Amino acid sequence: MSEFIYYGDATLLKRPKWDDKNAEDKFYKYLYLRKNIAGIHKELWFHQQGDRSWLVVTRNTKNHEILKVELAAEVVKGLDK
Amino acid sequence: MSYNIFQIIKEGLRGNKGWQKTWRNPNIKKKYDVIIIGGGGHGLATAFYLAKEFNIKNIAVLEKNWIGGGNVGRNTTIIRSNYMLNENEAFYEFSLKLWESFEKQINYNAMVSQRGVLNIFHSDAQKDSFIRRGNSMIINGADAELYDVNKIKSIYPFLDYENARFPIKGGLFQKRGGTVRHDAVAWGYAHAADRLGVDIIQNCEVNNFKFKSGACVGVETTKGFIKANKVGCAVAGSTSLLLSKADMTLPIESHVLQAFVSESIKPIIPGVITFGAGHFYISQSDKGGLVFGGDIDGYNSYAQRGNLDMLEDVCESGLALMPSISKARLLRMWGGIMDMTMDGSPIIDKTHIRGLYINAGWCYGGFKATPASGWCFAHLIAKDYSHLLSENFKLNRFKNGYMIDEKGQGAQPNLH
């Protein structure tokens, strides 16, 4: 059991709206397709065995180096602007 | 060169000076009928079956490093066909049948050893689900037996049967499952494909495709441009990177999976055992090392090395199953990059570009699938329509909602 749990690509924060044009296609891409970047990757982690915060971690997938950690709530506020 | 007993005697008398290289080191031609990108198990198998079963002769396999240096050399060497869903089980049973005649087909000793795979269960509910899976296996022509505790005790007396949390209640046994010497799979396919005239080009990385009026007409490599009528990609964890050159975004995440080998000890484990209460599988190599593994690390990675928390998790599972291995020392560990799909099942399909084909998404079950994957991919490339056994492994299943989700986990690649 790990302290932090991985929940995938941070693009999951940008959920399409149900009444968007081409919503079906947008949800297909949102749910299934991933850029799967080799290099700097933004991703979601959950601090399950800690303060249970959602985090956006910027990490290099080529060497596992963590470059930046932000609260997901703060990142989402930035997206809304 | 053909390998047989007379050759061994002859070479023995000549001081073993007449052995030739197992495969050639050919010059690259300007044009091939088919180029396979990726000289791993699946790529080499595809080239071999294209030449042998589908009568295509002008083939090249391009490998960025040396052949067999990727996942075919980074696994726990297990073969089995114990899936539940029909789409998977029929395919993997075909693969197991190909393993049974594998060495004769390729004229190479790959140490195919059908020593039996035992999946242990620890509760009545788990027993029910394993029986269901066993029935599904039998329906698809595979073999499956239900073992009770006494039967397991007679083979593996050293397991922790009275473990308070995970008592052993029995197991699902597949006698025809077992292990294969993994490196010899790559070398054997290379040997056999080379004898049929396939050019195996090592240290040749593909950087880009060349397209002309909607069709793929060749590849740009570190050794220059090579023309081709058809190009097949079998590059496992690098699939997303390679296919991004064709403007494709795939339902794949690349994850690291580790495997471990202990120091050599006397023979103790005759077959393959899997733990039912965690993710742990173990067998013993012919050299005596315990070969074992568990889950993927769980986060996107291209690093070909994992972290220690997964090692701890795997060892905890191992000790819960067989406490006696606590004294064995770990000798080696390594990581491979798995192309994890959104439903845990593979992709063997055409792309939107004519002449460009994809074989990917093997998650961490690719080794046992090698022969069937090569066969079905060769069929697709040669005939331009899917083999019956791989017709469900198409890219559009994610859009159409026809997922093949063996574990029922949904679109969360690190849980498959």
How far apart, in whole angstroms, are the C-alpha atoms of residue B318 and residue B301?
25
State the pLDDT at residue A81: 60
For residue B171, give Cα distances in angstroms to A8, B139, B145, B176, B365. Answer: 34, 19, 8, 15, 21
Confidence of residue B358 (pLDDT cuts 50, 70, 90): very high
Say if B349 is an interface residue toward chain A (CB within 8 Å): no
DSSP state of A31: H
The two beta strands, B170-174 and B117-121, are antiparallel
* Displacement of CA A69 from its chain's centroid (Å): 12
Strand partners, B34: B59, B230
Domains of chain A: 5-80 (3.30.2270.10)
Mean pLDDT, 10 residues at a time, chain A of 81 residues: 90 95 96 97 96 97 96 89 60
CA distance A34 to chain B (A): 6
Residue B318 exposure: Cα atoms within 13 Å on the Cβ side = 26
**In chain A, which residue's Cα lies nearest the Cα of B316?**
A1
Flag if A38 and B254 touch (Cβ within 8 Å).
Answer: yes
**Residues on chain A bordering chain B, Cβ-to-Cβ distance under 8 angstroms:** 1-2, 5-6, 8-9, 28-29, 31-38, 41, 43, 59, 61-64
Sign for the pseudo-dihedral over CA of B377, B378, B382, B388? negative
ipTM, 2 dp = 0.94
Residues B298-352 pLDDT 10s = 999 999 889 999 999 999 999 999 999 999 999 999 999 999 999 999 999 999 9
Say if B302 is an interface residue toward chain A (CB within 8 Å): yes
| Residue type (1 letter), B385 | Y
**In chain B, which residue's Cα lies nearest the Cα of A6?**
B299
Residue B40 has a CB neighbour count (10 Å cut-off) of: 28
Helix pair B41-52, B366-383: axis angle to 10 deg: 40
How far apart, in whole angstroms, are the C-alpha atoms of residue B348 and residue B159?
40
Domain spans in chain B, listed from the N-terminal domain onward:
31-77+182-251+343-415, 112-179+253-341
**In chain B, which residue's Cα lies nearest the Cα of A9?**
B300
CA distance B252 to chain A (A): 6
- Judge whether residue B9 has pLDDT over 90: yes
Q: Is B32 helix (H, G, I), strand (E, B) or coil?
A: strand
For residue B221, give Cα distances in angstroms to B35, B201, B218, B226, B318. Answer: 12, 11, 10, 7, 44
How far apart, in whole angstroms, are the C-alpha atoms of residue B342 and residue B251?
6
How far apart, in whole angstroms, are the C-alpha atoms of residue B337 and residue B362?
11
Confidence of residue B1 (pLDDT cuts 50, 70, 90): confident
Structure tokens of B183? Answer: 């490196």
* Displacement of CA B84 from its chain's centroid (Å): 18
Structure tokens of A53? Answer: 């915060």
CATH for B112-179+253-341 is 3.30.9.10
State the pLDDT at residue A1: 64
| Residue type (1 letter), B121 | F
Residue A33 has its nearest CB partner, among B249, B254, B298, at B249
Confidence of residue B29 (pLDDT cuts 50, 70, 90): very high
**In chain B, which residue's Cα lies nearest the Cα of A37?**
B241
Strand partners, B147: B171
CATH for B31-77+182-251+343-415 is 3.50.50.60
Residues B360-409 pLDDT 10s = 999 989 999 999 999 999 999 999 999 999 999 999 999 999 999 999 99
Closest by CA position to B361, among listed B404, B402, B399: B404
Say if B202 is an interface residue toward chain A (CB within 8 Å): no
Say if B63 is an interface residue toward chain A (CB within 8 Å): no
State the pLDDT at residue A79: 78
How far apart, in whole angstroms, are the C-alpha atoms of residue B79 and residue B347?
20
- Judge whether residue B199 has pLDDT over 90: yes
Closest by CA position to B282, among listed B123, B143, B398, B117: B117
CA distance A33 to chain B (A): 4
Q: Which residues of A touch B414 (CB under 8 A)?
A: 6, 8
pTM of the model: 0.96
Residues B154, B309 contacting (CB under 8 angstroms): no
Residues B141-198 pLDDT 10s = 999 999 999 999 999 999 999 999 999 999 999 999 999 999 999 999 999 999 999 9
- Judge whether residue B289 has pLDDT over 70: yes
Element (H, E) at B352: none
Residue A33 has its nearest CB partner, among B250, B309, B414, at B250
Residue A36 has its nearest CB partner, among B253, B298, B399, at B253
φ, ψ (nearest 5 deg) of residue B356: -120, 125
Average pLDDT, chain B: 96
3-state helix, strand, coil in chain A (%, to 5): 30, 30, 40
Residues B54-97 pLDDT 10s = 999 899 999 999 999 999 999 999 999 999 999 999 999 999 99
Say if B312 is an interface residue toward chain A (CB within 8 Å): no
Residue A32 has its nearest CB partner, among B298, B302, B411, at B411
Interface test with B, best of A5, A32, A35, A46 (most B CBs within 10 A): A32
Interface test with B, best of A3, A25, A34 (most B CBs within 10 A): A34
Q: Which residues of B touch A43 (CB under 8 A)?
A: 299-300
**In chain A, which residue's Cα lies nearest the Cα of B238?**
A38
Element (H, E) at A25: helix A23-32
